[in-house]
Amino acid sequence: NLSKRLETVASFVPKGATVADIGSDHAYLPCYLVHKGIVQKAVAGEVVDGPYQSALKKVREEGMENQITVRLADGLAAIESGDGVDTITIAGMGGSLIVSILEKNPEKLESIQRLILQPNIHAKLIRQWALAHQWKIIDEAIVEEDEKIYEILVLERGPMELTEAEILMGKELIREKSDVFVKKWTNEVQHMKKVLQSLEKADQTPEILAKREELLHHVALVEEVLKP
Ligand code: SAM
């Protein structure tokens, strides 16, 4: 059984796609996609030997060696030109690590039609990257599992315009304003206000003042969105 988080990632994979799952760990996601008949071919990439061995073992156990190629590689280097990969999934890492993986081998993105990204934190960095690289966020989801809240972003090529609040919180997610979304941002505001209180007590260096200003600005953006 796949986690709700990865099931949501899987729900955005087009039927018949060829997927590369980068940072695949146990290769749960590609195995699920093949098992459900959503994809016939996938690559599972891992940079660390332990998870790479787990992925190999899982694919062997499932008898999916003909469908899923497991590679020990850093980020998008797992994708080879003959693979025909058109969709990339990257899940369960911070937004900054996901962005650094996307930026390291930009040529690997040339044949890619869709990116499905699930940052554990800092989804904002992915929205900024998308804006700067002519990717458009075509869908977004937010799910809660085991007391944690996850965002899933779906990108295809195209122009996009986002406001500051939309970069921080997600245009589609703001529009939906689901209970999980309200919960996440209510918590974030509380957290930001606590940090602000502690910064008020600190030495008011230019860095501290800048940080306070940024936090105040974010609190205002979020409170405006949460306003009933
Ligand atoms: N994607 C799975 C999920 O969402 O459940 C596994 C998430 S796990 C927390 C993150 C995985 O990414 C780890 O197995 C780690 O080794 C791998 N990883 C981190 N940086 C990587 C990189 N540059 N290239 C490939 N894999 C990477």
Residue-wise pLDDT tens digits, 35-66: 999 999 999 999 999 999 999 999 999 999 99
Residue-wise pLDDT tens digits, 68-118: 999 999 999 999 999 999 999 999 999 999 999 999 999 999 999 999 999
User: Does residue 119 have its Cβ closer than 6 Å to ligand 1?
Assistant: no
Q: Answer yes or no: is 65 within a domain.
A: yes
User: Does residue 30 have its Cβ closer than 6 Å to ligand 1?
Assistant: no
Q: pLDDT band at 1, cuts 50/70/90?
A: confident
Q: What is the pTM of this model?
A: 0.97
Residue-wise pLDDT tens digits, 169-180: 999 999 999 999
Q: Are residues 24 and 133 in the same domain?
A: yes
Mark which of 130, 160, 190 sits at the end of a domain: 160
Q: Answer yes or no: is 131 within a domain.
A: yes
- Domain range for 195 is 182-226
Overall domain count for the chain: 2
Q: Answer yes or no: is 10 within a domain.
A: yes
CATH of the domain at 83: 3.40.50.150
Q: Of all atoms in ligand 1, which is nearest to the CA of residue 75?
A: 24
CA of 34 to the centre of ligand 1 (A): 20
Instruction: List CB contacts of 190: < 8 A, sequence separation 6 or more.
Output: none
User: How many residues does this entry show for the chain?
Assistant: 228
Task: State both tokens at 186.
Answer: 């209510």
**Pairwise CA distance, residues 124 & 53, whole Å:** 32
Q: Are residues 13 and 103 in the same domain?
A: yes
